[in-house]
Structure 1
């Protein structure tokens, strides 16, 4: 098991070594192939034409009237123009004739200064040699231009040599790319396996499936440590979640047990108190007040226990809605009639209206019991905080996809600092919307849970004209 740094270094050196060996082998094979192709030919060295220049100079000096352009045909035959260019200039540096037209000498001083010296023209070399007549008088100079390369020295095989030269240059890079791809792919495959296992493990954790073990052991030290750390994290998370789930289950069982144990005796107390009030009209006034207080608190306790039961049900992972097709207009009108009587009893005006946003062609799928419970919790909240002679406004908008309720009241509204906490469990405002009628603080939490179970949204705000306003949207559970 090596560190990532050492493995990267090892792979780099391996790639370079394999590339060098493969390149040398390819060059040797290429040279052998070239030799076979050119087995009847001798390969000229790079200075082949340079070595012929002294002989060419001697030939030029043996010619009569060498500055005469009539000698060009003769020199063209003598000088191998496939590898040498020549130029005959007079003593002033003026070109007389030749195969190159470039002016390398421009004056007599230039001629004497550049004699027997190399003049470099890009990758070509130009050399001027003096020309004398039979009396050894200086007549001018003969210039020769050539290249020092094997390709230029072998004109017949130039195309093949050039291709071989290009191939020799790119061969190392081809092998570096090839071995990098092969070794990198094998290495990436080895690295991919533990990463895939980690990704698969993360997906199982997301689904709360922690009954798995990390089996892969990488030969990369850091990756092996990562897999081991992930496995330890999973184990610790599993232990923590199992503990949390156990505590949650115990809490739910406790709430359910308390609710069950309290509901029966409180119901009995309520029944006896109601029986006393109904059957004995001669009770002293104070005793009657006591019984009324008992009855009121019994009702509050039963309501609290029922809400605790509801919360326990909603938090259960097995909970699901009992959606069924209903006529939303009938459901809403029945609820309006029910609360119109309650509002009338408290001298509160209920202004309700139903609006159809489109022609409804089918029934609306929802859980009617839960929707009634949600509306009860919101409307009871509005009734609790609306004073006599107050107004509760309820607007309903019906479409194929959703139902929208806007319920507002003329009560004190919400305090701004508590507005974001309204739908939390056991939250009760103690300032703006405070009431002598104590309540559990679970009503709005239950309403929010029911709305979210219907893939909807609920919000609460203060009306510009005063009071609270609830906006609820629930979706048609059958609508895709």
Structure 2
């Protein structure tokens, strides 16, 4: 099978622009040629008609002076002298084109006998002018050859010279069009080539590849979007690697504890007591909680969590969630205070919103020192319901406040793995908030700890 010739986009663009230029150039050339030829013939025709009229009038005057045509028979020089005098002393009413007679002519008498003219037959389609006396009698005619027949060598040479010149201009214009087209095509394709090279680097796994944005048109916007795509892929790849490392790290600790305790029981170092079984059970609980959180996070990342949105009340959902935490807060020596309006209507999924509130209250419970307090408020700031969760010390450094919603992120100090969290709860909260058209952020709390602000967009019906 013979390989097919594949033209690149550069060659196609060059051929398209160059073909368009050549089409316009050739069309203009033929248009100019037709205009010139018709104009040139009309120019000769008008000049000849004027000369025929003047010559017929002059011959009529001579005829009246002589009374017959004997003065002109076999005297071509007399006619040409008359023509020369007309050229040198044109009448004020006749503006003749320069350079004299253009075509062959004949002078014939009443019997259609040729008095003056070439030996060739008198053309039937030639221009004919009557030689009329003052009494109206026609005594002959002056006949000129058709204007389309160029007879003078100067006219023929001029026409041929114009043809050659026009084709020279076409050739030079074609070369110039090819050069300009090549430059334009190369300039237009330069950003496309950079995008192609960048795409090849991305396909090869080099997510650090970027392209230069050299314009503000559609190609510039495409280059900008390409850089954003490369940046997102680079960030996702970095997050994927960090995620895999975090998962292995999170699983390693409870598995190592389980393995150590089981080996100790096998070797007889540790007896199989209810306390030992309880220790094993606690590590299994940690693993189960971690796997459940990973499953919930993966579903929320993919948007696969089932959201059954309906009209609900945030106040009621928060009161139910806080009620389930009341005993645990008391056992940890914490005070939970709610500052809620009478109602907070919202269109959302009650189950997912309660999961969000549960994670936030669980986070405050785990990471607030005993004797502290947690305050929850709801306020409407159009077009958002704003929910704030304030807890007391310990707090989170300002550098870490934007990172706590990343998976597996934990701060140093009191808010660490000793509290038993998997580091995924706030990441799940962020996904649920965004699924409801809201956002979540963290900052320093006036109580000395962390203040988490949740905004859920809601526009009341009129």
TM-score bucket of the superposed structures, by smaller chain:
0.3 to 0.5
TM-score norm. by structure 1 comes to: 0.46
User: Normalising by structure 2, what TM-score?
Assistant: 0.47
